[in-house]
């Protein structure tokens, strides 16, 4: 998997220069652990702890963690694991400094999620996946999520932060409204008494089919809540309102992620990303409390164990624990000889090699978790038109979703549409290519679901 700018090495002279300039290593140490109990083999994880990107005079690193909880087969989860990160990174303009790069992430995540969904749907009709993608750059954590896996952060200085949104129809009224407006139906599975035998038979057949293919329904069946069950959208019967894939369900199931970005204090903290199997059984507090003091691997195993003890193995159950720790600082100033020795050690151990960004220095301040960004709207016109100054750097004549080059006048403004009351000028970007415009209209319910060209 090739990441943008990944292969550019820092020259030894640059490293020596930085060392002699006494640049402090201010990035956190990141340690992670994983535990998984598989039932269907549809949960997948992504760990990339040393992603490199070029900036200014050298290279810096960031970490990426992903959890993909697939349904109706593993193909959407596998495809997203293999392609999503590249699609996100390819949406970020090159040569940004750290602050600009971090500010560009929310928009790039939207573009990357939508492109991955569009590309996957062109290949496969069936299968979908939830996605929780975490990018850690310095002390800034950015989380993009679709579906009902959940990501929490427990700050070392106190406070639990929810970094993802639940896109379950049952608990998300706003999403129910969006789906009905886009032409989807919402309702519980109807197996009420007094039904004719033939229709009951049909409903049991549907039940059988769905329970074999979605984890959500099997839960309803086991609980004997055939009359009720969770709210689902129809056609399709999915309990989620957002995912990657699920072309067969309907285009009102959109891939536009909820994005939250926080800057944590330099005291660090612990993150937990888990699939719904864990959160159906444990509260955030219970998950954190059951593994306090344990290293990430043991902590993840303990959380999965606790979840299974409470609920049994009803679904794939995956837990990722990420500890974000302050780097240990050398106690004594290094002599030139030792300095070189330490430098080589850091090369071999692949430690975070440099950080000179202003944001890190600013972060040495008060022990608070600062919210930098939060947005969950499904409207691309809102999500791609960021207010950050960095938006001016996004290339004007490129599709904001798939990064295809556009000829002047060829792109369609993301603000275009029958509902637009403002007269658009030719340069009112960002722009979409015609193919991504079709995707946008389908997601907004402007054409019948399932009609594809």
Contact positions toward Zn ion, by CB under 5 A? 399, 401-402, 404, 433, 436
Q: Decide whether 250 or 411 has the Cβ nearer to Zn ion.
A: 411
Question: Which among 35, 10, 267, 295 is positioned nearest to 159, based on CA atoms?
Answer: 267
- Which tokens belong to 422? 């403002």
| Nearest CB to Zn ion, comparing residues 62 and 120 | 120
The distance of closest approach from Cβ of residue 40 to Zn ion in the complex, given in angstroms and rounded to an integer, is 33
> Least distance from C-beta 402 to Zn ion, angstroms?
3
Residues contacting 21, CB < 8 A, separation 6+: none
Q: HSE-up of 223 (CA within 13 Å, CB side)?
A: 14
Q: Shortest Cβ distance from residue 384 to Zn ion (Å)?
A: 11
Q: How far apart are CA 88 and CA 336, in angstroms?
A: 41
Kindly tell me which of 376 and 430 has the beta carbon lying closer to Zn ion.
430
Q: How many CB atoms lie within 10 A of CB 372?
A: 16
Measured from the CB atom, the residue of 31 and 404 that comes closer to Zn ion is 404
3-state secondary structure of 385: coil
Sheet holding 269-274, edge to edge: 29-37, 317-325, 269-274, 150-155, 160-162
Q: How far is the CB of 84 from Zn ion (least distance, A)?
A: 16
Helix H or strand E segment including 302: helix 296-311
At residue 200, φ and ψ (nearest 5 deg) are: -65, -40
Q: Indicate the residue among 133 and 436 with the shorter CB distance to Zn ion.
A: 436
CA distances from 232 to 29, 186, 297, 299, 364 (A): 42, 6, 35, 34, 46
Strand locations in 114-268, DSSP E? 128-137, 140-146, 150-155, 160-162, 185-187, 232-234, 244-245, 258-263
Q: How far is the CB of 4 from Zn ion (least distance, A)?
A: 18
Residue 134 or 399: the one with the smaller Cβ distance to Zn ion is 399
Q: How far is the CB of 285 from Zn ion (least distance, A)?
A: 43
Q: How far apart are CA 363 and CA 357, in angstroms?
A: 10
Q: How far is the CB of 453 from Zn ion (least distance, A)?
A: 14
Q: In terms of CB distance, is 272 or 401 closer to Zn ion? A: 401
* C-beta closer to Zn ion: residue 87 or 243: 87
| CB 407 to Zn ion: min, Å | 13
- Min dist. Cβ of residue 186 to Zn ion (A): 30
Least CB distance to Zn ion at residue 388 (A): 21
Q: Least CB distance from residue 216 to Zn ion, whole Å? A: 32
Indicate the residue among 85 and 414 with the shorter CB distance to Zn ion: 414
Closest CA relative to residue 164, chosen from 385, 376, 391: 376
Using CA atoms, how far apart are residues 440 and 412, in angstroms rounded to an integer?
A: 11
Give the Cα separation of 173 and 416 in Å (integer). 27
Residue 331 gets the label, from left (phi > 0), alpha (psi -120 to 50) or beta, of alpha
Question: Is 134 or 414 the residue whose CB approaches Zn ion more closely?
Answer: 414
**Based on CB atoms, which residue is closest to Zn ion, 393 or 404?**
404
* 8 Å CB contact between 218 and 72: no
Dist. CA 67–CA 174, nearest whole Å: 24
Residue closer to Zn ion, measured from CB, 17 or 405: 405
Identify the H or E element spanning 308: helix 296-311
Contact between 388 and 103 under an 8 Å Cβ cutoff? The reply is yes
Minimum Å distance from CB 437 to Zn ion? 8
Cα separation, 369 vs 157, whole angstroms: 9
Summary count for the chain: helices (H), strands (E): 13, 16
């Amino acid at each position: 998997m090739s990441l943008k700018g990944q292969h550019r090495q820092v020259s030894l002279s640059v490293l020596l220069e930085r060392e002699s300039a006494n640049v402090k290593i201010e990035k956190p140490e990141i340690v992670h652990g994983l535990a998984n109990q598989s039932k269907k083999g549809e949960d997948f994880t992504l760990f990339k702890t040393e992603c490199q990107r070029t900036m200014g005079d050298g290279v810096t690193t960031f970490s990426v963690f992903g959890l993909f909880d697939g349904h109706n087969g593993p193909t959407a989860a596998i495809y997203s694991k293999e392609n999503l990160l590249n699609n996100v990174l390819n949406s970020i303009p090159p040569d940004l400094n750290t602050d600009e790069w971090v500010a560009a992430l929310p928009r790039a995540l939207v573009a990357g999620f939508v492109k991955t969904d569009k590309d996957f749907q062109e290949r496969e009709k069936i299968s979908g996946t939830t996605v929780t993608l975490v990018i850690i750059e310095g002390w800034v954590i950015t989380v993009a999520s679709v579906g009902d896996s959940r990501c929490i952060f427990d700050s070392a200085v106190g406070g639990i932060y929810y970094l993802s949104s639940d896109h379950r129809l049952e608990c998300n009224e706003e999403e129910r409204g969006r789906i009905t407006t886009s032409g989807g139906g919402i309702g519980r599975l109807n197996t009420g008494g007094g039904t004719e035998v033939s229709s009951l038979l049909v409903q049991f057949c549907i039940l059988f089919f769905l329970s074999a293919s979605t984890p959500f329904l099997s839960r309803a069946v086991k609980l004997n809540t055939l009359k009720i069950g969770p709210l689902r959208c129809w056609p399709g019967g999915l309990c989620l309102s957002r995912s990657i894939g699920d072309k067969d369900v309907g285009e009102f199931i959109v891939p536009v992620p909820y994005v939250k970005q926080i800057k944590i204090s330099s005291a660090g903290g612990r993150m937990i990303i888990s699939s719904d199997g864990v959160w159906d059984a444990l509260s955030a507090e219970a998950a954190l409390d059951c593994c306090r003091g344990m290293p990430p691997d043991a902590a993840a195993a303990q959380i999965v164990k606790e979840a299974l003890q409470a609920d049994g193995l009803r679904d794939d159950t995956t837990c990722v624990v990420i500890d974000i720790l302050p780097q240990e600082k050398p106690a004594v100033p290094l002599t030139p000889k030792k300095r070189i020795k330490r430098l080589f050690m850091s090369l071999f151990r692949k430690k975070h090699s440099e950080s000179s960004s202003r944001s890190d220095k600013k972060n040495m301040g008060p022990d608070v978790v600062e919210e930098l960004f939060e947005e969950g709207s499904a409207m691309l016109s809102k999500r791609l038109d960021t207010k950050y100054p960095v938006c001016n750097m996004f290339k004007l004549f490129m599709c904001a979703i798939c990064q295809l080059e556009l000829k002047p006048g060829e792109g369609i403004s993301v603000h275009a549409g029958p509902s637009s009351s403002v007269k658009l000028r030719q340069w009112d970007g960002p722009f979409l290519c015609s193919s991504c415009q079709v995707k946008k209209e389908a997601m907004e319910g402007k054409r019948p679901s399932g009609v594809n060209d």
